[in-house]
Amino acid sequence: MWRELKIGESDRAGLCATCQHARVIESERGSRFYLCERSKTDERFPRYPRLPVVSCIGYDEKTCTSSSPHA
């Protein structure tokens, strides 16, 4: 089941779902938005990009660490 949810999220958000610079913002109504942290220092990146993002020059894949086993 976890794999199905992961694939679904990736389909909706594209690269943002696995980018280390993306932060998920959830509204009180349950809507999810992806905030691009790169937008704070580089105006080329929109604060809330249109999803799904299929290409991005700032994309850096999340990495797993011992303190956070799931990226």
Write out pLDDT tens, residues 2-48. 344 455 777 899 999 999 999 999 999 999 999 999 999 999 999 99
In the chain, where are the structural domains located?
Answer: 1-59
Is residue 70 very low, low, confident or very high in pLDDT (cuts 50, 70, 90)? Answer: low
pLDDT for the residue numbered 3: 40
Asked if the model's pLDDT at residue 71 lies above 90, the reply is: no
Mean pLDDT score, 48-65: 92
pLDDT at 66 over 50: yes
DSSP per-residue letters across 2-70 = HHHHHHHHHHHHBGGGGBTTEEEEE-TTS-EEEEEGGGGT-TTS-SSPPSSB---TT--B----SS-S-
pTM reported for the whole predicted model: 0.74
